[in-house]
Chains A and B, each alone.
Chain A
Amino acid sequence: GQSLEQPSEVTAVEGAIVQINCTYQTSGFYGLSWYQQHDGGAPTFLSYNGLDGLEETGRFSSFLSRSDSYGYLLLQELQMKDSASYFCAVILNTGGFKTIFGAGTRLFVKA
């Protein structure tokens, strides 16, 4: 089966840097994505890694190591509005594409 592991909860202060790790065990791995979801809202896309290495998009960066089945999302210069749930999501290609989500990490940003 497919499994993704990420921490359930992280707390950090405004202005700090936080890293949310994700490990996965899947078959048909194609890439790793990250999504943000505020309570009651829809998930929004943050970042995608199809190849090993670091992808940077503003305050957010994401990393992938295929050999280690591991990735992380790095959030810099944290702001209160970053308080949300963050999901790592593996894209699988098993004759067709689909995306499976991890359980999510709730990030609490304190003043």
Chain B
Amino acid sequence: GAVVSQHPSWVICKSGTSVKIECRSLDFQATTMFWYRQFPKQSLMLMATSNEGSKATYEQGVEKDKFLINHASLTLSTLTVTSAHPEDSSFYICSAVREGRGNSPLHFGNGTRLTVT
């Protein structure tokens, strides 16, 4: 159990366009989901905490108007990269934790590799 599905697994888009990434918990309910960004051979940087039915909480330095997060249900959170630029190219990974389990363990999606040309 505890499967998190992330889609798409990779996407190439042109500079100035927007890209939506979906994160679904398939067999459990996740009140909270987390979005991370990872550069090659580097750590996972927490971007924001996505809370079902309320506004996301963004980490310092993350532009909320650029990275739009919507958590419409207990099993789905979306990240939209708006007006993408080449510097937004990265590996984006979502994670979810079962309701009532504190924050462990985090169950990760397989990530989305975004390339902006």
Residues of A within 8 A of B (CB): 30-31, 33, 35, 41-45, 48, 50, 85, 87, 89, 91, 93, 96-104, 106
CB–CB B42/A103 < 8 A: yes
| Chain A binding surface, main DSSP class | strand
- Complex contact A101–B43 (CB within 8 A): yes
Interface size on B, residues (CB 8 A): 25
B62 in the interface (beta carbon within 8 A): no
Residues of chain A within 8 A of B7, CB atoms compared? none
| Binary CB contact string for chain B from 2 to 38 against chain A (1 if under 8 A, 0 otherwise) | 0000000000000000000000000000001010100
Cα A97 to Cα B51 with chains together (Å): 11
Q: Say yes or no: B44 contacts A45, CB within 8 Å.
A: no
A48 CA / B106 CA spacing, docked (Å): 11
Binary contact track B82-107/A, C-beta < 8 Å → 1, others 0: 00000000000101010000111111
- Verify B93–A42 contact, CB threshold 8 A: yes
Q: What 18 additional pairs, Cβ within 8 angstroms, besides A33-B106, A50-B104, A96-B32?
A: A33-B105, A41-B110, A42-B110, A43-B93, A43-B108, A45-B105, A45-B107, A48-B104, A85-B41, A89-B106, A97-B32, A99-B46, A99-B103, A101-B43, A101-B45, A102-B43, A104-B42, A106-B41
A111 to chain B, nearest CB (A): 23
Q: Complex formed: what's the CA distance from A103 to B109 in Å?
A: 20
- Residue contacts A-B, CB under 8 angstroms, 8 given: A43-B108, A45-B107, A85-B41, A89-B106, A96-B32, A96-B57, A100-B46, A106-B41
Closest to A95 in B: B57
Q: Quick check: B108 and A42 within 8 Å, CB to CB?
A: yes
Residue of B32, B41, B45 most packed against chain A (CB within 10 A)? B41
- Cβ–Cβ contact B49 & A101, under 8 A: no
Check A30/B103 contact, CB under 8 A, given A96-B49, A97-B32: yes
Chain B residue at minimal CB-CB distance from A47: B105
- Give A45 to B42 CA distance when docked, in angstroms: 18
Closest 6 CB pairs of A and B: A97-B103, A45-B105, A42-B108, A101-B44, A91-B103, A48-B104
